[in-house]
Each structure stands twice: as C-alpha cells, then as structure tokens.
Amino acid sequence: MTELGTQIKEIIDNEDVTLFMKGTPQMVMCGNSHRALEALRRAGAPVTAIDILPDPRIREELSTQSGWPTIPQVFVRGELIGGADIVEELEQTGELERTLTDKLGPDYRGAADERVVAVP
C-alpha cells in the first residue's frame, strides 16, 4: 500500500466518524457531501472530515480500499456506513444514532468537536 493509502486507512480505522467529502464542513463543494454532513450533524456524530478535492489520488486510494465508487463516504470506527443516500435513510429511521451508540457508546454526542484532517 502507498504511504497515502496507509494514512487513509489509519484515519478510517482510528477516527470515530470519518466523512470523505468534496470541500470542507465550512465550505461544502457538493450537494451529496452536504446531505451526508447534515445527516451526521443531526445525529450528533463527532465528524472528522477529509476533503478529497486537493489531490485526485485521495479519491483513488479511498475507493480502492472501500470498493465504493462515489463521494461522500462515511465510516464509523473503520466500517463503511455508506454514502449520502444511506446515511440520510439511516438518520431518518433512527438507525444511524443506534449505530453510533453501539460503536461509540451512549455519550458520543458532543464527545468531540467537528474537525478537518488534511491528507497527504
């Protein structure tokens, strides 16, 4: 695996909630990234965001690892939860909050501030 691939894998595995998106939470550059971010925010998820736009290799490495062709992609403790459609659907049914509670514990809300991590 490339150095960038290793870096991406470590973020996915170690962060509570990782959102690979176009743009940043402060300046979202894509409607679907916005939908995923807002669903995560409604569920109170402690989001670590990664902007894939600065370097095309980020998206290539990510999709190779996840087998998921589109952006955004949401992971909770290493597990792919889905893209915007799935995250929205899970948020609406309450399943997203259940998943976050199961994986992060009942006090996940407000456990960490939203933040942005830059790669490579």
Residue ranges of alpha helices (H) inside the chain are: 3-14, 31-42, 56-66, 84-93, 95-104
Q: In the complex, what is the shortest distance from the CB of residue 73 to another protein, in angstroms, rounded to a whole number?
A: 10
Contact residues for another protein, defined by CB under 8 A: 31-32, 67-70, 80-86, 89-90
Q: In the complex, what is the shortest distance from the CB of residue 43 to another protein, in angstroms, rounded to a whole number?
A: 15
The answer to whether 30 touches 71, Cβ cutoff 8 Å, is: yes
Q: In the complex, what is the shortest distance from the CB of residue 36 to another protein, in angstroms, rounded to a whole number?
A: 12
Nearest residue (CB) to another protein, 24 versus 66: 66
